[in-house]
Amino acid sequence: MGKRVSSDEMQNIFEILQKSYDVYGPKIYQGTGCFSDTDVVRYGLLNSWEEIVWNQKSDYSFKEVLLPISETILYFTENEMKTADGAARQRLIFLKSCDFHALKRLDDMYLKNGVEDYYYRRMRENTVFAVMGCKESGKNCFCVSMGTNRCEEYDMYIFQDENGCYMELKCRELEELLWDYGQNVQEKPIFVENNEVHVEVPEKLPNIIHQDSMWQEYGSRCIGCGRCNFVCPTCTCFTMQDIFYKDNPKAGERRRVWLPAR
Ligand code: SF4
Ligand code: SF4
């Protein structure tokens, strides 16, 4: 069971959420596109409910909210080291079902691939996710072939149509915050069930597939610009940089920085 909420009420709900969370989602950055006078859609801190972009795919990944492109992880002097503080406030991120599946891949890499990543764990425990139901398939989307068109383990589900919004809450904290809003209804989450693009996924890929001539050729053309890391929500490649301060070269900070594919 979920709730029906009017569009006006949604702005009130958004303001309630803002009191407890920094709220992020896809929004338009005017005039910052690749070409002059073009816009870009990317994830950022939202100031109002209307700011969320529903009908367009984000040009950049939600990942940059979770894992900053450059993140200071510790400060050091000659003798001491101090772990950098985490984000001061909890975060709520609005994202699509396909992105929510990408999050599982990030979890696998950072939390289930040997020793847990302390910084990722800290950030993950401080973040809740609101899945935005897609009304229709986006251009070039192929989530149905990949089975990423629907999901269940979200903290909040939200679908916007001409009658307002349908909302489902699974996280106790969100339930307590928003309990008094909207009308209880017997609706179900809506997910895209068809894409124009279909992808045949092989039953089994050999382990040496990365040696295939297609990838060799692709790799030979790579100029290390890093764009693939920026757009791919599942990429976990990073490098470390030690920065020494100019006024005291024996002190500095260590940063984790996204790494271009090479
Ligand atoms: S239609 Fe599928 S791939 Fe496209 S944005 Fe929605 S969930 Fe993602
Ligand atoms: S870094 Fe990524 S996007 Fe840039 S050239 Fe290499 S493969 Fe292409």
Instruction: Read off the pLDDT of residues 91-149 as tens digits, 9 standing for 90 and up.
Output: 999 999 999 999 999 999 999 999 999 999 999 999 999 999 999 999 999 999 999 99
Residue nearest to atom 6 of ligand 2 (CA): 222
Q: For residue 85, is pLDDT > 90? A: yes
For the Cβ of 231 lying below 6 angstroms from any atom of ligand 2, the answer is no
Q: How confident is the model at residue 261 (pLDDT cuts 50, 70, 90)?
A: low
Rounded to whole angstroms, how far apart are CA atoms 26 and 44?
A: 6
Q: How confident is the model at residue 210 (pLDDT cuts 50, 70, 90)?
A: confident
CB 84 within 8 A of CB 73: yes
Q: What is the DSSP string of 162-194?
A: TTEEEEEE-SHHHHHHHTTSSEEE---------
Instruction: Read off the pLDDT of residues 36-58 as tens digits, 9 standing for 90 and up.
Output: 999 999 999 999 999 999 999 99
Q: How confident is the model at residue 151 (pLDDT cuts 50, 70, 90)?
A: very high
Q: Which atom of ligand 2 is nearest to the CA of 226?
A: 1
For the Cβ of 224 lying below 6 angstroms from any atom of ligand 2, the answer is yes
Ligand 2 pocket mutation, candidates 225, 230, 238, criterion most atoms within 8 A of CB:
225
For the Cβ of 57 lying below 6 angstroms from any atom of ligand 1, the answer is yes
Task: Tell me which residue of 46, 43, 44 sits closest to 61, measured CA to CA.
Answer: 43
CB 131 within 8 A of CB 151: yes
Task: Please give the distance, rounded to the nearest whole angstrom, from the Cα atom of residue 225 to the centre of ligand 1.
Answer: 26
- pLDDT averaged over the chain? 94
For the Cβ of 210 lying below 6 angstroms from any atom of ligand 2, the answer is no
Provide, rounded to the nearest whole percent, the portion of the chain with pLDDT above 70: 99
Task: Please give the distance, rounded to the nearest whole angstrom, from the Cα atom of residue 239 to the centre of ligand 2.
Answer: 16
Task: Please give the distance, rounded to the nearest whole angstrom, from the Cα atom of residue 123 to the centre of ligand 1.
Answer: 25
Look at residue 241 in the predicted model and tell me its pLDDT: 95
DSSP-derived 3-state class of residue 157: strand
Provide, rounded to the nearest whole percent, the portion of the chain with pLDDT above 90: 81
pTM above 0.85, yes or no: yes
Task: Please give the distance, rounded to the nearest whole angstrom, from the Cα atom of residue 149 to the centre of ligand 1.
Answer: 6
Instruction: Read off the pLDDT of residues 176-204 as tens digits, 9 standing for 90 and up.
Output: 999 999 999 999 999 999 999 999 988 88
CB 158 within 8 A of CB 130: yes
- Mean pLDDT over 1-27 rounds to 94
Q: For residue 242, is pLDDT > 90? A: yes
